[in-house]
Each structure stands twice: as C-alpha cells, then as structure tokens.
Amino acid sequence: MTMESLVKTGSFATLGVLSGLVFTIAPATAGPSCTTGTGLEICVTYDTSITSLANASTVESSFNTVAQQFSNALTNQATIDIYVSSGTIAPSGSAVGSRPLASGSVSGSYNVTDAMGTTAAASFANTTAALAAAGVRNLPATDPTGGKTFYMAQAEVKALGLGATYSVAQAYDGYIGFSSTAPFYYGTTPVSGYYSFQAAAQHEIDEVLGRTSTLNNSAAAALYLNQANPLDLFRYSSPGTPAAFTETASAYLSTNGGTTALGTVDSTSTGGDRSDWSTSGTSTNDSQNTSLVTGTNQGLSVSDGMVLQGLGYRISAGNGAGLFLAANNPVGAAASLTSVSGVSAPEPASLSILAASAAFTGLMRRRRPASGD
C-alpha cells in the first residue's frame, strides 16, 4: 500500500541568478551526472531550465562539486537520485508536480518520504530500531513528538539499507530548485552582493538526505500536523528533556540525549524551517542557517556532520573529508565540537524487526529564506 503526502522541505530565499527569466520546467532529456569514488553515490539529473542556460556548464559544475563533497564525506553504500531545476522546484508530471519557489526564496527542495509504520507507535518503534541498527546511540525511549507518525526521507531509507522493507518507489529521492533571479556566485568565495550557490546546494542536498523537520512556521505546516521526521527525535530543551514539539518552542539539537548541544534551531522566523539553525540576534557561517548572507563563504559545520551521523549516515575520516568544519559551527553549538565524533555506524544489519511494517510513500517540501526575509 502506498500513500502520497506532501512534506515541506527547505528553501533559501535569495541565492542566485541562474538567468534573468523564470523558466517553464520541461522534463530533462540528458542522462544523470553521478559522483565518483567508493562512498555515497549521488546522481543528478538537470532539467532543461538548467541545461538551456548560457552558463549551464558553470551551474552544473558548481552543483556537481557539492554533490561530490557529500559523496566523499559519507560512506553509506547507496545511490541517491536528485532532480535539479531553475525557477521552480520540479517539472510538471513529476512525483510532486510543478512546484514554484516561495516568493523571495533562493532555493527550495521536495523530499520523497516513507511512512515508517501503519500506526504512530509502530512508526516510532521502527524509526528508532532502524537508527539503532545503523549504529546510532542515545535514542529516546519514548516518543518526544506526542504521537506523530514518523516519515523517513527515501534517500535515508536507501542509505540505511531499508529498501527491502520500505517503499523506494519514486525515480528521484528529492527535487531541488534554485532562483532564476537572485545573484549567485558559483565559486568558493562570493563577491560582495552575491550569494554562494554552493552553500545553497549544500543546504538543499543535506535536506534531501533527511535533515528535515515537519515543524515549519508557514501555511504549509497544517499539512504535517500528524507527521514527524527522524530529526525530530533530537530536539531538546535541556539535557534529558525533549523540547515541546511545536513551531515556536525553543530547542537545540543533540545526538547524545541533550548533553551536548549541536546548535539552536530556528523557532522565530516566519516561514522558516525548524530544522535550520537559528540566526536570531547573531549568525555564523553555517550553510544550514535559516538564512544566507551575501559576500560570505558559508559552509557546513561539525554540527551538521553530527546531525547526519545521528540520522544514520557514516562520516568519512577527517571530518567528512573536510566538508564539516568547526569554524562554521552554528549559534548555540558546544565549544567542544571540534570534530565529528561518536559511534562509527556499521553497515546496516538485517532489519528483520522492521519487515512486518507496511511502507508508505510521501513528499516533503521545505523553504529557506535569505538574510532579512
């Protein structure tokens, strides 16, 4: 049995000029571009709204660079398929249908998600069992969401080796769209007035991999009132005390029961993802912040690596081959976070404990604003 649901994923708000026009999305015709190496394989299909750009090779090369960064950083043996477009998030006729970027957004994404059980209680048990089998420790014994049904990103289902148990029915694990009007810089250090395209790409790929919460302060939030994501297991208000599962509750992320704060999540911005780091009052260079700033070389942090590790991803040596840097740690991160550490997750064992669960397929959308939105 399958079930379609729309789950909100992230979107930056003002990241880059792909062209002066908003393109009508048409299906892609070229084959995917896949990362190389022995780690996680990411295959990217570019829509014609990308391939028809005058600077298409620059745009594709910049995105491919970020995809390869994730492939080098994560050692799970799986292939993740992503569809990338300009002006809208996905083409007509796709699993999500044609989806425009929110007004003022720099980028956005939709995830394909799978329900982790036929009841809320079963979905919580199956989610924690799957993460534990992947080597994750310090998982909550009781559901911190108050009885929501847990949905896991299809990409994460693949990475954790759960494809035989749960539905992996959609051709693409996620859809990413970039603004066609905002000013992007495609190299590593943006010039004044330009946003980092690679920072936006990092943010969106991270979310396709499962770094999402169903909590979102926007009109779309009503779609997800009865849902939760694995990331929602790691929201705390103090050591040992889960944060209230509401849009406006103050919370920080922690993968060791609240003892070590990875960073404070956004709980105040209108339309902001509650999986993004807070920029209220101050900010850092983390590309997972709730907003981007121009002329700044933003990137992923050690905290971001620890979050992915909590979701069952295995991080390669050297802080994910240098992808996760302490210098980018978000607001509220513990000073002790200088390297991605913790349990080195093994290859997923046989997850027969999950085999009795029914699988459902859904979709999750997120947006991310630019600085000042």
| Banded pLDDT at 129 (limits 50, 70, 90) | very high
pLDDT tens-digit map of 136-186: 999 999 999 999 999 999 999 999 999 888 877 789 999 999 999 889 999
Strands 41-46 and 79-86: parallel
Give the mean pLDDT of the chain: 83
Question: Residue 19 phi/psi, 5° resolution?
Answer: 180, 165
Task: Rank 12-16, 265-269, 309-313 by mean pLDDT and report only the highest.
Answer: 309-313
Q: Report the pLDDT value the prediction gives residue 163, as an integer from 0 to 100.
A: 86
CA distance 31 to 17: 24
**Rounded to two decimals, what is the model's pTM?**
0.87
At 233, list the tokens.
């297991």
Q: Report the pLDDT value the prediction gives residue 170, as an integer from 0 to 100.
A: 87
Instruction: State percent of the chain over pLDDT 90.
Output: 63
Q: Is 54 exposed, middle or buried (0-12, 13-18, 19+ CB in 10 A)?
A: exposed
Q: Report the pLDDT value the prediction gives residue 5, as an integer from 0 to 100.
A: 37
Average pLDDT, integer, range 11-37: 51
210 DSSP assignment:
T
Angle at 13 between CA 62 and CA 280, to 5 degrees: 115
* 323, pLDDT greater than 50: yes
CA distance 15 to 186: 11
> Coil, strand or helix: which one is 352?
helix
pLDDT tens-digit map of 54-78: 999 999 999 999 999 999 999 999 9
Q: Report the pLDDT value the prediction gives residue 29, as an integer from 0 to 100.
A: 53
| Alpha helices for 141-234 (secondary structure H) | 154-159, 197-208
* 359, pLDDT greater than 60: no
Q: Report the pLDDT value the prediction gives residue 11, as an integer from 0 to 100.
A: 37
| Alpha helices for the chain (secondary structure H) | 48-51, 56-73, 120-133, 154-159, 197-208, 302-310, 317-322
Q: Report the pLDDT value the prediction gives residue 351, as an integer from 0 to 100.
A: 40
Cβ atoms within 10 A of the Cβ of 20, count? 7
Q: Report the pLDDT value the prediction gives residue 91, as an integer from 0 to 100.
A: 75
At 231, list the tokens.
């990331």
At 143, list the tokens.
């559901």
Beta pairing partners, 151 = 115
10 DSSP assignment:
-
Which has more confidence, 266 or 223? 266
Closest listed residue to residue 91, CA positions, set 199, 176, 151, 7:
176
Instruction: State percent of the chain over pLDDT 70.
Output: 80
pLDDT tens-digit map of 327-350: 999 999 999 999 998 644 444 443
* 220, pLDDT greater than 70: no
Closest listed residue to residue 285, CA positions, set 199, 201, 352:
199
Identify the sign of the CA torsion 289, 291, 293, 297: positive
Q: Report the pLDDT value the prediction gives residue 291, as an integer from 0 to 100.
A: 86
Which amino acid is located at 74 in the chain?
L
Average pLDDT, integer, range 84-99: 79
